């Protein structure tokens, strides 16, 4: 880099059109042609299909109207898992500090490699070449001082590009971006911001934090104010794998109907099981934690016969545990619900329901794929439609 310009040491590596790229890699006849993975719903589209207007989460019929000559292929999740493992081997050969955040993306910290590997931009260039030569897939890499900005840089550099955001220029780069580039800004939040004539990240940065909180609520307000100023102190995290994964939501005082409680529980289970599947973990102990209106707490758990990350299995177990506390909820009121799945391991999924649960597991994977590629709000259950999106606002990963 030129004198006076400093490179950050965080890399965000993100495979391009992952599922479609695997299909094109494995079938040479698909290369250079518009490819759609998934029939009823588009799980992934090659860049040739994207150029014709095909988007992830689009209905299959609509996608073919936009691109009639697209080639539709069924998803092959085993092939995608194998490709992901091969790519992560490249990541770990590059640096021991790797934090996987989904099947096709990760953060890498390369600050300690300068003497032996060179500048972060040099390492990123070699990483892209290694993924292409060893795994045969295109990948984009962002290089920046913070995880958030590295992720934005990789997205801007797509397809198959690399973008370095010098430390001295990071706010200049960030503030020119549309508000939708802020991590956690979906359609609802974007609409609120644009209705208030807030169109760029720079517009957000010029607001007082209290103004954002008043407009969006405390969670999103504090979160977006920090990101607009590129405040993201999270390091790339590796090390011991956690023994449980969970999520909770404060309900607030007042009466809450059974339907509202069930919707909250459903949304929390969705969040937890999705994180488990992204991490390749299964668990056998389902626990719900409740805080009542008198500030007392209750914890109930149930251990399944087999470990699972199947959404419906965890949900039905959590519902049973919640029903067992219905009397206390009626008498005391409820102000918080938490759900966690413990006894996590890395064993392959073995679903516990005696029904046709294999198809249920595949449905979970399809839903995860749509949300990973198109955002957490892109696919919602019917019961969630029209509900407040306070549970759906993504938070920065732990």
Residue positions annotated with a catalytic role: 105
Residue 31: closest CA among 40, 41, 21: 21
Tokens of 315: 């949900």
- List, in sequence order, every residue forming a beta bridge with 45; answer none if it has no partner: 36
CA 310 to centroid of chain Cα atoms: 17
Strands, sheet with 297-308, edge to edge from the N-terminal-most edge strand:
245-250, 334-342, 283-292, 297-308
Residue whose pair of structure tokens reads 């479609």 in the numeric block: 20
DSSP 142: E
CA separation, residue 357 to residues 39, 162, 222 (Å): 21, 41, 41
Q: What is the torsion angle, in degrees rounded to the nearest 10, for the CA atoms of residue 302, residue 307, residue 311 and residue 316? A: -30
3 state DSSP class of 343 = coil
3 state DSSP class of 360 = helix
3 state DSSP class of 227 = helix
CB–CB of 313/270 below 8 Å?
no
Q: First and final CA of the chain: distance in angstroms?
A: 32
Tokens of 129: 């070449």
């Amino acid at each position: 880099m030129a004198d006076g310009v400093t490179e950050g040491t965080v890399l965000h590596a993100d495979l391009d059109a992952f599922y479609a790229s695997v299909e094109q890699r494995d079938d040479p006849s698909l290369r250079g042609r518009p490819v759609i993975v998934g029939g009823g719903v588009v799980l992934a589209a090659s860049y040739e299909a994207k150029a014709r207007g095909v988007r992830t989460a689009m209905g299959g019929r609509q996608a073919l109207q936009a691109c009639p000559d697209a080639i539709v292929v069924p998803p092959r999740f085993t092939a995608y898992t194998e490709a992901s493992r091969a790519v992560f081997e490249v990541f770990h050969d590059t640096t021991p500090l790797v934090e996987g955040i989904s099947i096709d993306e990760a953060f890498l910290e390369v600050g300690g490699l300068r003497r032996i590997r060179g500048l972060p931009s040099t390492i990123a260039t070699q990483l892209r070449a290694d993924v292409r030569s060893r795994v045969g897939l295109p990948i984009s890499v962002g290089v920046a001082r913070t995880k958030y900005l590295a992720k934005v840089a990789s997205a801007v550099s797509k397809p198959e590009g690399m973008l370095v955001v010098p430390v001295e220029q990071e706010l200049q780069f960030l503030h020119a971006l549309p508000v939708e580039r802020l991590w956690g800004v979906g359609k609802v939040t974007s609409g609120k911001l644009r209705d208030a004539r807030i169109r760029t990240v720079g517009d957000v940065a010029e607001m007082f934090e209290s103004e954002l909180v008043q407009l969006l609520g405390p969670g999103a307000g504090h979160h977006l104010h920090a990101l607009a100023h590129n405040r993201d102190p999270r390091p790339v995290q590796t090390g011991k794998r956690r023994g449980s994964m969970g999520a909770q939501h404060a309900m607030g005082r007042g009466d809450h109907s059974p339907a509202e409680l069930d919707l909250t529980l459903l949304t929390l289970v969705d969040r937890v099981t999705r994180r488990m599947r992204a991490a390749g973990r299964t668990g056998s102990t389902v626990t719900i934690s409740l805080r009542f209106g008198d500030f007392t707490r209750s914890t109930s758990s149930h251990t399944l016969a087999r470990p699972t990350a199947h959404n419906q299995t965890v949900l039905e177990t959590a519902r049973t545990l919640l029903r067992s506390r219905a009397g206390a909820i009626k008498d005391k009121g409820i102000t918080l619900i938490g759900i966690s799945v413990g006894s996590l391991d890395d064993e392959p999924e073995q679903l516990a329901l005696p029904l046709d649960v294999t198809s249920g597991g595949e449905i979970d994977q399809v839903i995860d794929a749509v949300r990973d590629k198109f955002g957490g709000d892109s696919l919602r259950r019917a019961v969630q439609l029209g509900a407040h999106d306070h549970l759906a606002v993504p938070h920065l990963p732990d």
